[in-house]
Structure 1
């Protein structure tokens, strides 16, 4: 199917939601970076002017994405994945360091972040591998290779250091669950997170006691109904306790001080009130000011360009990771609810589009898009309102940044291109 035909059959509801989000996002970037000395929206020396330029580039990229044959994305997915890996490796030699992370290439007119391209390439490569007729996600060997596809770019990004971007790749594991990966792995993942957090909060001894009591209760309740696999339960207990014993070493020796401070603030690990307050004023300053900005907006907000905390630069980096706080202050509860609803509708629409695909590759890629957008959306808003620790993840289509906006746009419109072609016989 030609690009012109694809344009006619593109899902316009998704396009409307996309345009709504980037439009509202730009208004809030304009507000958070507005200067009375530079009132023109076309001033490309200002951040809002640059973002307007990036929006234009993203719109051009949509035309390119829709013009390519749908089969291109499946056929060249492996090559794109390899290129993304080479670009990530190149950062260790040619990368530019910004805010302590060597995550960008300096192209002169703008900084390019290859991890945004790697998200697209990994989603495509994973969909390609899983849709192969010889792949069975229930086999251990195929599970290993699927996990490896996800793990390689994450391992290349962590040392930059950029743990926030690396975390996004692990969201692609949800694609595996959609395609039949045993829920056992989800249980292991949740148990790992719970053991890690509870060990930091209460220590290994209490973790071991609680686990022992839970296993004993399970054995007591299930003893009469069926034969209980005692050996696997004991093995799980030993592994969980061993992992718990390693948590403090990882926390104190592997994590950087800024990461330890963020966990200390989030979980209230620091018992000294004075020291906790010092951490709150440094590492937790952004979140504290963000919470206050949203709280001050009330129900209706203070009005466009009327946010006192926004105009006073109380929230550092407000135009990037903390852009949602501008919505809260100037548009209030009504504004934040509108943004949350738009994102929710977009994600639900993408689920619908993914499920109606006739081709396994398109469906799996669709769920890859959903996973990436969902984790960005969930963590960013949770971070801004203080529910989750700060890890530097932008809000899709909303936060300032050319690489991010371009990456999310291409990610989304590849799915729309595949969807427009779903009835064709190349599938």
Structure 2
């Protein structure tokens, strides 16, 4: 096995990639997925704990929505420092730290999860669970550096999908606990994760690597903040990942409070959407590799608009079957969109590098620097969508007793995402006549293939 630090790394070199690069990259991907998977489970733990919080806990639906919203907020905010920590400390080193930190919220939750605990205490523990959501940013930034551009859609999709599925797994385990031990034993679920976190931390320390060429570069972060594509892609990622994590956290609560499902009935349904959305994410990345991320993203937002329209209709008609069907399709589409939007990021900066006249290794370095920096920011802003969804649903239930008005707002957002994707990445640029005296040909920016 290679040393802890790898000083020479060029995945675009076919000979190097086939001889050793792909094997090292695959190994790091596998153990990155394991830690990220558990991180997502911890981050979404309160969405499952809410199913255990019966009347004896004294917390109303709005209070439960707020707990999961706080977890979403903290996870989103921490993605910025986590994303840049890879370049500062090394991918392996930071995975060890971030995985080990998951012991803090799980042991705290194990200690306090019982009736009589104050709402303030639950709020503090919800804040702690946010560290699980931050793992995504460092994991994606790290894996992005291991793979060549032609495989980034697939690799990032596998990494993110394997992590995202942690949401479905913790919900499925919650169902198992409720079905076998009852809704009064939440500690059984939390207790399952403590040894798993220890195992993941040890595996990361044993099998992962740091990449020397991925050096700390504050200049890249500053460039990413100033680049308009960072904020455009953040807007789109709110629509895909923000929807995925927001719906994952809120779906069970909506089923309980709008459709009167019991905790067991809700738990038996909530895991299906996140599971399918996670499994399909690599497919979204693969489609983007083949067809272009912008094209896949555009039509995916069109379908998301239709799907949430079905959810609105089901909410108005109080049709549980139609509501669940619409939501399952919506989850699947968020997974495809997650894969396609993240594939766009490295492609955008490779296109910009070519437009600057950069070639070969210089183009690779530019694209790697900027895509790594922007992923940290885009992943953070996108995760704030989960906060927005839970706050919107909270307000909707407070004012009308259902989520209908919130779903209408989400529909409008997807229409905006469709328009932005087309206008920025697929609309053909207007042709301008070049001055007669100018013979130099400047590269034309075209993002249709990103």
How high is the TM-score relative to the length of structure 2? 0.28
* Larger helix share, 1 or 2: 2
Query: Which structure: larger Rg?
Result: 1
How high is the TM-score relative to the length of structure 1? 0.29
